A and B are shown apart, each in its own frame.
Chain A
Amino acid sequence: MRILVAMSGGVDSSVVAARLQAEGHEVVGATLQLYDARGAAKKGACCAGQDIRDARAVADRLGFPHYVIDAERRFQDSVIERFADAYAAGETPVPCVACNQGVKFTDLLGLAKEIGADAMATGHYVRRIEGPQGAELHRPVDSERDQSWFLFATTRDQLEYLRFPLGDMPDKAAVRAEAEKYGLLVAGKPDSQDLCFVSDGSYVDLVESMHPEMAGAGEIVDASGNVVGQHEGVMRFTVGQSKRLGNAARLNGERQMVVGVEPASRRVIIGPRAHSFVDTLRVRDVNWLVDAPPEGLSCRVQMRAREVPRPAHIIPTPKGALVQLTEPAMPAPGQACVFYDGTRILGGGFICRTESATAA
């Protein structure tokens, strides 16, 4: 069948393209240009000028058509601006989810359908398993490279159309070996890491340039509003964090942590670590990959990119879901709360701020 392969120019998506072609499929390669390659794109990150060149070289070598898709404006609007706006609203966003959800699995997938492709494949490390009720989304075999948390917002329709051939790979070495087998020059290319659209990890500068009101030092306050310290910028703080609090890290003999961020007043609010955890949280924009029972379901939830999932009970609500944690925790607004049953993703949503929790 005709399959559109989303190619970043890295080894993973290149192997996907090569393998699908070797299996006899008609492969069409596409690389999203997300920002001007001459700009301050980060070295070693996805989709800069060199990466487009690499993707093209793979396609030329294997002899299938490859296209560069201009997604600069969409990426700016749907990922970068939303990323900055979320920080300005006191949240800690996950831009990779927004990118997968919008530019990749809505826009590029729509384009794949329009050019008559029967499926779209990516190099993500996640497994798609045909189940009795349709396609299921699972953690990959290689837990080191698990990207399932970032893909929770993939809808059931999208999942039907998508393919993730690398989900069964045991480790990255096996992927590189396969790239060698196909003679791909990208076999030894370093992995991309962190945010692709900021140079030198300085997302702080980027957000502050878009929201100048957030730039600069501010106060650290306790729950009653007493000033207990100073900080160098609200951008550096996420709910749940204890680092960078200076002398305020311990007050009255109790360890403190961030319990809220107020960008408009540039205030970081802290509270005692022992008493600030919550056992209930609300999530919005929930994507269900199963038919959610109205009475709710028990499963495990993962609220950060890298953490061990914890037991919880999820109750669907009109605008999202209510998550009841078995053990209290400190969820960070804007991060994803993904529901797992073993390796399978059941659904997930974005963690609401406490003041907006009633809205969900």
Chain B
Amino acid sequence: MTASAHGSPSQPRVVYLDANATEPLRPQAREALLEAAELEGNPSSVHRAGRMARALLEQARDTVAQAFEVAPLNCIFTSGGTEANVLAMHGLGHGRRFLVGATEHDAVRKGAPAGADVAVLPVEASGQVKLDCLEQALAASDVPAFVCLMLANNETGVLHPVAEAAALCARYGAHLHVDAVQAAGRMVFSVPQSGVGSLAISGHKMGGPKGAGALLLAGPAPARLQPLFEGGGQEQGRRGGTQPLPAIAGLAAALSASLQSPRDLSGLRNTLEEAAQKAGAKVCGAQAPRLGNTSSLILPGRKAQTQLMRLDLAHICVSAGSACSSGKVAYSHVLQAMGFGEQAGEAIRVSLPWNVQEEDIHHFVQAYERMAQSATPALGL
């Protein structure tokens, strides 16, 4: 973390454990971002300045495509993860029925075109999709399906059995789209080896700047897809609008950095979880394979909102379920789908950033224990 984030001696140390909301900017991404911002050309221009910008854009495309083993022309840059997911659902899902995992992010849960036939795929108590239900749903109709499953869940870190799901989809002629926004950069993943049809990523969840994401397509290069908006025909006519080169260059640099020097955070995460469990917490999805940085902790009888406030006042940044634009804390649909009932409103998410330090875990545990030991609240909000 930077010096300012740690604070001066007079300022209390701020502990940032909300990486799944956004990762701190990686130094390599910052460098690439500034370098790209210095270029004056538009990547679509034919002149010298345009060519320099285009070269940088295509370099970024090569990097990202290579990381997921797709052809460079099958990497479509977007404004972020939401747009990448929605572009896949609209651009590839036309005429298909949608099968959407119950624990998907709202970008996907609300991403299908208006009037589309959407069914929800239930999950096990562990948070993993019920493969038998997926197969039943695939077999239930001759209309080809468009299946949406996330690689790693944003709240629990739980990994879906994507390769198995992909095999089922292949058998029934269904397209499998994977939201890899949380997993990208945190684990190695190959589109052709896993058999998925498309994959969405986001720059700032990997330590890049906010404002860029990408949709990666299996299939022929360049694969066809209906754009959400045509504009000037950028991205092979699949995504109109001038590319935000600094954000894209930063995305590519962040992805490279995260894959070149991977950091296993599960040891620190386990230390944190053991302490939290001793204090009375329940860990959600612990029985399933998970991302190493993510922990979803229920503290029975304590509303998520109050937990967030208490930890924030102790200078610890974590989050809960999902926050709407007004900032109020909503119930977690993910934990509800996993069968936690009312306790879905009593969970916080702790997600360790790439630059987390042991001291951060220590600070969190101290504040969490104090919170768990304090008098239980009256009912109400």
Interfacial residues, chain A to chain B (CB-CB below 8 A): 28, 33, 37, 49, 52, 56, 65, 67-71, 74, 103, 106-108, 110-111, 113-116
Check if A111 sits within 8 Å of B329, measured CB to CB. no
Interfacial residues, chain B to chain A (CB-CB below 8 A): 305-306, 309-310, 312-313, 326-330, 374, 377-381
* Min distance, Cβ A187 to any Cβ of chain B, angstroms: 24
* Min distance, Cβ A320 to any Cβ of chain B, angstroms: 25
Check if A111 sits within 8 Å of B313, measured CB to CB. no
Check if A49 sits within 8 Å of B326, measured CB to CB. yes
Given contacts A33-B326, A52-B326, are A67 and B380 in contact (CB under 8 A)?
Answer: no
Check if B312 sits within 8 Å of A114, measured CB to CB. no
Those 10 A-B pairs whose CB atoms lie nearest each other, nearest first: A107-B380, A70-B328, A110-B378, A107-B381, A68-B327, A114-B377, A68-B328, A110-B380, A115-B309, A33-B328
Check if A116 sits within 8 Å of B310, measured CB to CB. yes
Q: Give A108 to B377 CA distance when docked, in angstroms.
A: 11
Q: Give A346 to B309 CA distance when docked, in angstroms.
A: 36
B378 neighbours in A (Cβ, 8 Å): 106, 110, 113-114
Q: Give A110 to B301 CA distance when docked, in angstroms.
A: 14
Q: Give A68 to B381 CA distance when docked, in angstroms.
A: 12
Given contacts A69-B381, A74-B381, A107-B381, are A115 and B326 in contact (CB under 8 A)?
Answer: no
Residue of B nearest to A110 (CB): B378
Q: List 12 A-B contacts (CB under 8 A).
A: A28-B309, A52-B327, A68-B328, A69-B328, A70-B305, A70-B329, A70-B330, A71-B381, A74-B381, A106-B380, A108-B381, A116-B310
B326 neighbours in A (Cβ, 8 Å): 33, 37, 49, 52, 68
Check if A28 sits within 8 Å of B313, measured CB to CB. yes
Residue of B nearest to A73 (CB): B381
Which of B306, B312, B327, B328 makes the CB contact (< 8 A) with A111?
Answer: B306
Residue of A nearest to B306 (CB): A114
* Most chain B CB neighbours (cut-off 10 Å) among A28, A65, A111: A111
Given contacts A33-B326, A67-B327, A110-B381, are A115 and B305 in contact (CB under 8 A)?
Answer: no
Residue of B nearest to A106 (CB): B380
Check if B313 sits within 8 Å of A65, measured CB to CB. yes
Check if A116 sits within 8 Å of B313, measured CB to CB. yes
A70 neighbours in B (Cβ, 8 Å): 305, 328-330, 381
A37 neighbours in B (Cβ, 8 Å): 326
B330 neighbours in A (Cβ, 8 Å): 70
Given contacts A107-B381, A114-B374, 10 further A-B contacts (CB under 8 A): A33-B326, A52-B326, A68-B326, A74-B381, A106-B380, A107-B380, A108-B381, A110-B381, A115-B310, A116-B313
* Min distance, Cβ A149 to any Cβ of chain B, angstroms: 24
B328 neighbours in A (Cβ, 8 Å): 33, 68-70
Check if B310 sits within 8 Å of A111, measured CB to CB. no
Q: Give A358 to B306 CA distance when docked, in angstroms.
A: 43
Q: Give A113 to B377 CA distance when docked, in angstroms.
A: 8
* Most chain B CB neighbours (cut-off 10 Å) among A71, A108, A115: A115
Which of B306, B312, B377 makes the CB contact (< 8 A) with A65?
Answer: B312
A69 neighbours in B (Cβ, 8 Å): 305, 328, 381
Q: Give A2 to B328 CA distance when docked, in angstroms.
A: 22
* Min distance, Cβ B33 to any Cβ of chain A, angstroms: 26
* Min distance, Cβ A154 to any Cβ of chain B, angstroms: 16
A68 neighbours in B (Cβ, 8 Å): 326-328
B313 neighbours in A (Cβ, 8 Å): 28, 65, 115-116
B310 neighbours in A (Cβ, 8 Å): 114-116
* Min distance, Cβ A312 to any Cβ of chain B, angstroms: 34
Q: Give A28 to B313 CA distance when docked, in angstroms.
A: 9
Q: Give A100 to B125 CA distance when docked, in angstroms.
A: 41
* Min distance, Cβ B216 to any Cβ of chain A, angstroms: 35
* Min distance, Cβ A100 to any Cβ of chain B, angstroms: 14
Residue of B nearest to A69 (CB): B381
Q: Give A28 to B309 CA distance when docked, in angstroms.
A: 10
A116 neighbours in B (Cβ, 8 Å): 310, 313, 374
B327 neighbours in A (Cβ, 8 Å): 52, 56, 67-68
Q: Give A113 to B309 CA distance when docked, in angstroms.
A: 12
B379 neighbours in A (Cβ, 8 Å): 110
* Min distance, Cβ B15 to any Cβ of chain A, angstroms: 15
* Min distance, Cβ A63 to any Cβ of chain B, angstroms: 12
Q: Give A33 to B306 CA distance when docked, in angstroms.
A: 15
* Min distance, Cβ A64 to any Cβ of chain B, angstroms: 10
Q: Give A74 to B303 CA distance when docked, in angstroms.
A: 14
* Min distance, Cβ A99 to any Cβ of chain B, angstroms: 13
Check if B309 sits within 8 Å of A67, measured CB to CB. yes
* Min distance, Cβ B360 to any Cβ of chain A, angstroms: 20
B309 neighbours in A (Cβ, 8 Å): 28, 65, 67, 111, 115
Q: Give A56 to B312 CA distance when docked, in angstroms.
A: 16
Q: Give A110 to B380 CA distance when docked, in angstroms.
A: 8
B306 neighbours in A (Cβ, 8 Å): 111, 114-115
Q: Give A111 to B377 CA distance when docked, in angstroms.
A: 8
Residue of A nearest to B329 (CB): A70
A115 neighbours in B (Cβ, 8 Å): 306, 309-310, 313
Q: Give A103 to B306 CA distance when docked, in angstroms.
A: 15
Q: Give A107 to B306 CA distance when docked, in angstroms.
A: 12
* Min distance, Cβ A5 to any Cβ of chain B, angstroms: 14
* Min distance, Cβ A323 to any Cβ of chain B, angstroms: 31
Q: Give A113 to B374 CA distance when docked, in angstroms.
A: 11
A28 neighbours in B (Cβ, 8 Å): 309, 313
Given contacts A33-B328, A49-B326, are A110 and B305 in contact (CB under 8 A)?
Answer: no
A74 neighbours in B (Cβ, 8 Å): 380-381
* Min distance, Cβ A73 to any Cβ of chain B, angstroms: 10
Q: Give A71 to B305 CA distance when docked, in angstroms.
A: 11
A113 neighbours in B (Cβ, 8 Å): 377-378
Q: Give A135 to B149 CA distance when docked, in angstroms.
A: 58
* Min distance, Cβ B367 to any Cβ of chain A, angstroms: 12
B312 neighbours in A (Cβ, 8 Å): 65
A114 neighbours in B (Cβ, 8 Å): 306, 310, 374, 377-378
Given contacts A67-B309, A115-B309, are A110 and B377 in contact (CB under 8 A)?
Answer: yes
* Min distance, Cβ A185 to any Cβ of chain B, angstroms: 19
Residue of A nearest to B381 (CB): A107
* Min distance, Cβ A20 to any Cβ of chain B, angstroms: 16
Residue of B nearest to A111 (CB): B381
Q: Give A329 to B19 CA distance when docked, in angstroms.
A: 65
B381 neighbours in A (Cβ, 8 Å): 69-71, 74, 103, 107-108, 110-111
Q: Give A103 to B380 CA distance when docked, in angstroms.
A: 8
Q: Give A37 to B330 CA distance when docked, in angstroms.
A: 15
Q: Give A107 to B380 CA distance when docked, in angstroms.
A: 5
